[in-house]
Chains A and B, each alone.
Chain A
């Protein structure tokens, strides 16, 4: 991988930004400041960041219930995200989405989604429109190992394949479909093998290695943009927390948890950056401090923002 310093530090900053955003959201939730469900992305940051670093603003993504990381990596505004988590009128969706449906169509975020596996067919439609309009763009569908057992996964891969559409399917295999271990929910170990059934190249990468993810995504994106059709990338990873905040995680083996925490993608990448002389520890600390300030500012923005008006419940149901 030959990335310049700026790009390397940008990968790092985005990973840290996701981590800090999630840790802050967790703190707020546990402190009773947020309502609803929160599905944290901690531990999986290298995937969203490594993939989205290959995308421009006209390239699109569809995301999942665990979507904060994708949105931040795609360039989402953390003030508007934090305001949305607080249900405020200044949030991305005016307080109608909460955590699970955040979108920003202006920068290609077609939306997080509360239904497992629902983003894949929508991504196929976005790709169809891109080709229809002769756009030179690509759409990434993020989804988890659990979603790979849904019919929508199979229908979408087949449809994208047969229509030869510019989609990159990115499976974040965190080894659990909610509480159910991968070994219980499917017999295969590498989800990438499912590409074969649809004549789509499938590749498995270390999802906690941001550069490995970046490289695999770069190939798939370039393939799609060259008119060679969809790809499937499986990124093996681990969520540091439970499925949602409040999940007691009785299904996790403490030894496994320990093993994966040692592979945390952020300190791992920090070590690489220092060893390869891209940055000093002090520079990385400065990045983290600056990110923390931005997160604090986002919380302040959210908490000082107005609530929606009660009558707003009626707006945006239909387009006039």
Chain B
């Protein structure tokens, strides 16, 4: 195990994969000389040169398009779109090209690309730099969507994403940048589609992903003091979803609280709730609860933003309402 931060894990995983496979390259805005806004690619230009660490114009459509064309030719692009909010300007390349080409072409082509991007509020970045839009990408057959909550999960999931033969949305969270954690050394791959039980429990299942996992864990500790033993599942992969892990957990607990940072309406929690209602109805002893953001854009003022982001208290209240 090595101690490293979330950002260092991103950087080191990319470095290791680029050393391992000459077909892996990075392209995006400010990934080269600057090493990305938070240092996620720092030093890689110097090590791998401008052919493999490509500073691009501010042209998101052309960045993803470049990745699609390069991937169709057998390369393994890592495309950096710094904030998930900016994905709105290159959606055609993601939705109609990257996700669908293999199918439309009858399986003639593989599109092994990774789009690295960040979600999340909490740093006063306001409505166009704080959204959690991961659900958009779960509505695209052909695309996989993963989200990492810890430095170890960064390494395991990013390695898997880069080696995957399909397009993968790799969702990072900006408030986790400095989070430190133990990261396994050597080759470490977490299969995409495997959830992780981050806390074992028997009374209620709290399900989440990305930064909210940490709030769920903190809430679980508080609940434990009140005699409620919560199991916390980090799904880690939205598509494909580890239904088995979720349903097994509900077999023990009979109660489900889904927590996500995105707005509640049409958030991915709705999909999970529907899946459980359909496939796990008999396991439930109480209604499924969702804890998510209100249906408003993300506000700027720290006072407003704090109100907007799901709090530990809201998670605790939701859990208690089931007993």
> Which single residue of chain B is at the shortest CB-CB distance from A167?
B69
Chain B residues whose CB sits within 8 angstroms of the CB of A156 once the complex forms = 62, 65
Structural contact, A132 and B51, CB atoms closer than 8 A: yes
Q: Is A30 an interface residue (CB 8 A)?
A: no
Q: Is A1 an interface residue (CB 8 A)?
A: no
Q: How far is the CA of A158 from the CA of B107 in the complex (A)?
A: 31
Which of B56, B57, B75, B104 gathers the greatest number of chain A CB atoms within 10 Å? B104
Can you list, as one digit per residue, whether each of A112-124 has a CB less than 8 Å from chain B (1) or not (0)?
A: 0111001011111
Structural contact, B106 and A125, CB atoms closer than 8 A: no
Q: How far is the CA of A110 from the CA of B68 in the complex (A)?
A: 11
Structural contact, B69 and A127, CB atoms closer than 8 A: yes
Structural contact, A115 and B92, CB atoms closer than 8 A: yes
Q: Is A93 an interface residue (CB 8 A)?
A: yes
Chain A residues whose CB sits within 8 angstroms of the CB of B74 once the complex forms = 129, 133
Structural contact, B25 and A132, CB atoms closer than 8 A: yes
Please tell me which one of the listed residues A121, A130, A320 contacts residue B73 in the complex, with CB atoms under 8 A apart.
A130
Closest CB in chain A relative to B235 CB, distance in Å: 18
Q: Is B295 an interface residue (CB 8 A)?
A: no
Structural contact, B165 and A158, CB atoms closer than 8 A: no
Q: Is B110 an interface residue (CB 8 A)?
A: yes
Q: Is B102 an interface residue (CB 8 A)?
A: yes
Is chain A's binding surface mostly helix, strand, loop or mixed? mixed
> Which single residue of chain A is at the shortest CB-CB distance from B72?
A110
Closest CB in chain A relative to B65 CB, distance in Å: 2
Which of B54, B62, B103, B144 gathers the greatest number of chain A CB atoms within 10 Å? B62
Q: How far is the CA of A318 from the CA of B51 in the complex (A)?
A: 29
Chain A residues whose CB sits within 8 angstroms of the CB of B75 once the complex forms = 128-129, 132-133
Structural contact, A118 and B70, CB atoms closer than 8 A: no
Structural contact, A121 and B105, CB atoms closer than 8 A: no
Q: Is B166 an interface residue (CB 8 A)?
A: yes
> Which single residue of chain A is at the shortest CB-CB distance from B96?
A115
Closest CB in chain B relative to A227 CB, distance in Å: 14
Find residues 221-248 in chain A having any chain B CB closer than 8 Å to their own CB. Answer: none
A121 and B62 in contact (CB under 8 A), knowing A163-B54, A317-B141? yes
Find residues 89-111 in chain A having any chain B CB closer than 8 Å to their own CB. Answer: 91-97, 101, 103-105, 110-111
Chain B residues whose CB sits within 8 angstroms of the CB of A267 once the complex forms = none
Q: Is B109 an interface residue (CB 8 A)?
A: yes
Q: Is B101 an interface residue (CB 8 A)?
A: yes
Q: Is B71 an interface residue (CB 8 A)?
A: yes
Q: Is B64 an interface residue (CB 8 A)?
A: yes
Structural contact, A317 and B103, CB atoms closer than 8 A: yes
Can you list, as one digit per residue, whether each of B150-193 has a CB less than 8 Å from chain A (1) or not (0)?
A: 00000000000000011000000000000000000000000000
Q: Is A216 an interface residue (CB 8 A)?
A: no
Structural contact, A105 and B109, CB atoms closer than 8 A: yes
Q: Is A273 an interface residue (CB 8 A)?
A: no
Q: Is B36 an interface residue (CB 8 A)?
A: no
Chain B residues whose CB sits within 8 angstroms of the CB of A318 once the complex forms = 102, 142, 144, 166
Chain A residues whose CB sits within 8 angstroms of the CB of B66 once the complex forms = 121, 124-125, 128, 159
Structural contact, B69 and A114, CB atoms closer than 8 A: no
Structural contact, B59 and A101, CB atoms closer than 8 A: no
Q: Is A3 an interface residue (CB 8 A)?
A: no
Q: How far is the CA of A139 from the CA of B61 in the complex (A)?
A: 18
Please tell me which one of the listed residues A104, A115, A121, A125 contacts residue B72 in the complex, with CB atoms under 8 A apart.
A125
Can you list, as one digit per residue, whether each of A126-142 has a CB less than 8 Å from chain B (1) or not (0)?
A: 11111011000001000
Q: How far is the CA of A93 from the CA of B112 in the complex (A)?
A: 19
Q: How far is the CA of A151 from the CA of B92 in the complex (A)?
A: 12
A125 and B96 in contact (CB under 8 A), knowing A93-B104, A155-B61? no
Please tell me which one of the listed residues B65, B72, B96, B106 contacts residue A114 in the complex, with CB atoms under 8 A apart.
B96
Structural contact, A316 and B62, CB atoms closer than 8 A: no
Structural contact, B70 and A93, CB atoms closer than 8 A: no
Structural contact, A317 and B102, CB atoms closer than 8 A: yes
Q: How far is the CA of A113 from the CA of B59 in the complex (A)?
A: 20
Closest CB in chain A relative to B94 CB, distance in Å: 11
A97 and B142 in contact (CB under 8 A), knowing A125-B69, A132-B70, A133-B73? no
Q: How far is the CA of A172 from the CA of B103 in the complex (A)?
A: 28
Structural contact, B104 and A126, CB atoms closer than 8 A: no
Please tell me which one of the listed residues B61, B70, B142, B166 contacts residue A128 in the complex, with CB atoms under 8 A apart.
B70
Q: Is A197 an interface residue (CB 8 A)?
A: no
Structural contact, B70 and A96, CB atoms closer than 8 A: no
Q: Is B201 an interface residue (CB 8 A)?
A: no
Please tell me which one of the listed residues A95, A105, A121 contacts residue B65 in the complex, with CB atoms under 8 A apart.
A121
Find residues 31-88 in chain A having any chain B CB closer than 8 Å to their own CB. Answer: 62
Structural contact, B142 and A124, CB atoms closer than 8 A: no
A129 and B65 in contact (CB under 8 A), knowing A121-B93, A316-B103? no
Structural contact, A118 and B69, CB atoms closer than 8 A: no
Structural contact, B108 and A158, CB atoms closer than 8 A: no
> Which single residue of chain B is at the shortest CB-CB distance from A89?
B106
Taking A113-B97, A318-B142 as given, write out 17 further A-B residue pairs in contact, using a Cβ cutoff of 8 Å, ordered by the A residue number: A92-B106, A94-B107, A101-B104, A105-B105, A110-B72, A124-B66, A127-B69, A129-B69, A156-B62, A156-B65, A159-B56, A159-B57, A316-B103, A316-B107, A319-B107, A319-B110, A320-B165
Binding site for B on A (CB under 8 A): 62, 91-97, 101, 103-105, 110-111, 113-115, 118, 120-130, 132-133, 139, 151-152, 155-156, 158-159, 162-163, 315-320
Q: Which 8 A-B pairs have the closest CB atoms?
A: A121-B65, A125-B69, A93-B106, A129-B73, A316-B107, A155-B62, A94-B106, A155-B59
A-B contact pairs, 23 of them (CB 8 A): A92-B106, A95-B106, A96-B106, A118-B65, A118-B93, A118-B96, A122-B65, A122-B69, A125-B69, A125-B70, A125-B73, A126-B70, A128-B69, A128-B75, A129-B73, A139-B69, A159-B59, A163-B54, A315-B107, A316-B107, A318-B144, A319-B102, A319-B112
